[in-house]
Amino acid sequence: MIELLLPPLLAGLAVALVSGPMGAFVVWRRMAFFGDTLAHGALLGAALGLALDISLYVAVVAVCLGLAAALSALQRQRQLAGDTLLGIVAHTTLALGVIAISLQTGIQVDLFAYLFGDLLAVGWQDVIGLWVGAIVILLLMLWQWRALLSITVNEELAQVEGIAVQRTRLLLMLLLALLIAGAIRTVGVLLITSLLVIPAASARRLTHTPAQMAAVASVLGTGSVLAGLAVSWFANTPVGPSIVVAASSLFVLTLLRRSS
Amino acid sequence: MQAKERQYIIAPLYFGPFLMSEPLVTVQSVSVTLGGNAVLSDVSLTLAPGRITTLIGPNGAGKSTLARLVLGLVQPDSHNGNTSGTINRRKGLRVGYMPQHIKIDDSLPLTVDRFLWLAAPGPTASRRAALERAGVAHLRRRSVQQLSGGEMQRVLLARALLRKPDLLVLDEPAQGVDVAGQNALYGLLKTVRDELGCAILLISHDLHLVMAATDEVICLQRHVCCSGSPESVSRDPAYHELFGPGAGTPNLALYTHDHDHDHDLHGNATHSHDHSHSHHHDGPCNHD
């Protein structure tokens, strides 16, 4: 049993650990819908990866970064609000992704696994890749912590104080794209935003500093992965959705705590 | 022999002020267009260490835009790749900026102390001292979202001071502050200027106070209408055209409680030291 459960468990923990601080930034910068859009685009990336026979992770990161660049260019026009543009881009890329995957001949592709994750299918190679990715992302975030936080508090103050705002914003996008690429196999493109947003939102009521909030979000995220896997194992429910429901349950519990 | 030695000592002291006054920022005939509107045209400005410069002008005159240009937050117009005019900033310039107000998302748990740490990581004592300076030491552990507008301004001032800036830019620092508070604020700015030897650029629409606390006034209406010492600007026809007759001058003495001048028996200000600022007047000011 443990041989079966260990790779999914370690893979899920790696994603949840990074989702804590990354999710905190998504919440602070109001990027939930943006993250969702990138995740939808990840499906298109996965399809391209299959079609071109290149690494899934490379293809997903490339498509996510392309989307981020296209979105920031689109947002320069002022007639349509940001969330309208995100709605257009998110669903267009999702539709394109589904079409692209359905056009794959030869290999049988399980669309459901990409949409909702297939944590139980990850192997040791994925686990190693996910942990290397997780450690790289966490180290980069730690190294650039003050810059990342400064542009989140106020971009103009940060710029005046000599922080490279554009570069820092780009770094955050890149790290988010990397995380989404890693998460696509664990919770799937439709549920990754929840793993970013829900633990961070739960942590808000429990903490008093940004670093605390990021760390507590990591703890709550890993707790959700453990609980979700356990439920999935014993009740035979799909893993990805079980993790999300576990995270939401924790969020509801934090609501019971009186706000300080 | 002794006299000669003394001369060597005196020389650097004598040249000191001249070396100090190398400009920090020079803006030369720069134009700015935002969203298709010409906001600034052909504006020039020099900020030197130890000088307090104030931008005045009616709403929409481009005061904030000029300050943001100095800060590098707004770019000058460019035609075919050539920027209009030039902006030169001294290398390694440390800037403290106090915007009018900032909004920090409620989802970010941030105390005043952490907010200051972001501007200048260092020991708690330095942050406590900066807050004390700005008169808001009691707010250090408060969450930034709980601050009132006035409190936030004070915290932003503390944050700007904490960076020990070469140039301090303050956007409407006296807004919503009563007269006593304003006097204290300008007193503080002068002390800071003297201590750090920094240049200070202020934006204000409060004429009287600014007139009393400033080395140079720049009267702005999309271009520089007139500039110079407060006294010379307050006598300039362009200034009166912009703000109405009698603006500034009568109250100049009333609010002035710092000691760069004395009061005569009639309450008029007489200057106790020489102001050698030149005075420019650049054409008529039309307000539309």
Domain assignment present for A244: no
Q: State the first-to-last Cα distance of chain B, in angstroms, to the nearest integer.
A: 68
Phi, psi dihedrals of residue B25, rounded to the nearest 5°: -135, 130
Instruction: Tell me how far apart the alpha carbons of residues A40 and A168 are, in angstroms, rounded to a whole number.
Output: 24
A-chain residues near B107 (CB < 8 A): 27-28, 201, 204
| Contact indicator for B257, B183 with CB cutoff of 8 Å | yes
B46 beta partners: B26
| Contact indicator for A256, A246 with CB cutoff of 8 Å | no
| Contact indicator for A160, B25 with CB cutoff of 8 Å | no
Res. A5 pLDDT band, cuts 50 70 90: confident
Q: How many domains does chain A have?
A: 1
pLDDT at B13: 45
Angstroms from A76 CA to nearest CA on chain B = 12
Domain assignment present for A207: no
Secondary structure class of B46 (helix, strand, coil): strand
pLDDT at A9: 92
Instruction: Tell me how far apart the alpha carbons of residues A84 and A5 are, in angstroms, rounded to a whole number.
Output: 41
pLDDT at A114: 82
What is the percent of chain B where pLDDT is above 90?
28
With residue B263 as reference, give the H or E element that holds it.
Answer: strand B261-263
Tokens (6 digits) for A177: 């794209």
* Radius of gyration of chain A measured on its C-alpha atoms: 18
B239/B190: higher pLDDT: B190
pLDDT at A258: 67
Q: Which of A157, A207, A210 sits opposite B97 (nearest CB)?
A: A157
**Domain span holding position A174:** 2-190
Domain assignment present for B176: no
pLDDT at B140: 94
pLDDT at B110: 95
Size of interface A-B (CB pairs under 8 A): 60
Q: How many domains does chain B have?
A: 1
**Average model confidence (pLDDT) across chain A:** 89
CA B202 to chain centre: 3
Question: Is beta strand B261-263 parallel, antiparallel or unpaired with respect to B269-271?
Answer: antiparallel
Instruction: Tell me how far apart the alpha carbons of residues B127 and B110 are, in angstroms, rounded to a whole number.
Output: 15
How do residues B176-196 score in pLDDT, each as one tens digit? 677 777 788 888 888 889 988
Q: Which of B72, B121, B143 sits opposite A146 (nearest CB)?
A: B121
A-chain residues near B73 (CB < 8 A): 156, 159-160
pLDDT at B8: 46
Q: Is the pLDDT of residue B270 over 60?
A: no
pLDDT at B257: 39
B-chain residues near A210 (CB < 8 A): 108-110, 114
**Domain span holding position B109:** 96-164
Q: Is the pLDDT of residue B55 over 70?
A: yes
How do residues B67-114 score in pLDDT, each as one tens digit? 999 999 988 887 666 667 788 888 889 999 999 888 899 999 999 999
How do residues B106-157 score in pLDDT, each as one tens digit? 999 999 999 999 998 989 999 999 999 988 999 999 999 999 888 898 899 9
Domain assignment present for B124: yes
Q: Is the pLDDT of residue B204 over 60?
A: yes
With residue B231 as reference, give the H or E element that holds it.
Answer: helix B230-234
For the beta carbon of residue A97, count every other beta carbon within 10 angstroms: 24
Instruction: Tell me how far apart the alpha carbons of residues A102 and B256 are, in angstroms, rounded to a whole number.
Output: 79
Q: Would you call A91 an interface residue with chain B, using a CB distance cutoff of 8 Å?
A: no
Q: State the first-to-last Cα distance of chain A, in angstroms, to the nearest integer.
A: 43
B280/B244: higher pLDDT: B244
| Contact indicator for B11, B31 with CB cutoff of 8 Å | no
Angstroms from A209 CA to nearest CA on chain B = 5
To the question of pTM greater than 0.90 for the whole model, the response is no
Contacts with A211 (C-beta within 8 Å, 6 or more apart), sequence order: A145
Domain assignment present for B147: yes
Question: CA angle, corner B93, sides to B88 and B95, nearest 5?
Answer: 110
A208 and B107: CB-CB below 8 Å? no
Domain assignment present for B70: no
Domain assignment present for A213: no
Torsion (CA) A45, A48, A52, A53 in degrees, nearest 10: 60
Q: Would you call B121 an interface residue with chain A, using a CB distance cutoff of 8 Å?
A: yes
List the CATH number of the domain containing A178.
1.10.3470.10
| Contact indicator for A92, A209 with CB cutoff of 8 Å | no
| Contact indicator for B23, B47 with CB cutoff of 8 Å | yes
Domain assignment present for B199: no
Q: Is the pLDDT of residue B48 over 70?
A: yes
Sign of CA dihedral B246, B250, B255, B259: positive
Q: Is the pLDDT of residue A75 over 80?
A: no
Torsion (CA) B115, B120, B125, B131 in degrees, nearest 10: -50
Domain assignment present for B107: yes
Q: Is the pLDDT of residue A45 over 60?
A: yes
A160 and B104: CB-CB below 8 Å? no
Domain assignment present for B139: yes
CA dist A216 → A16, A26, A212, A230, B209 (Å) = 11, 15, 6, 21, 49
pLDDT, mean of residues B36-41: 86
Exposure letters A46-75 (e unless 16+ CB within 10 A, then b):
bbbbbeeeeebbebbbbbbbebbeebeeee
Hunting for tokens 């914003």 — which residue is that? A169
pLDDT at B267: 39
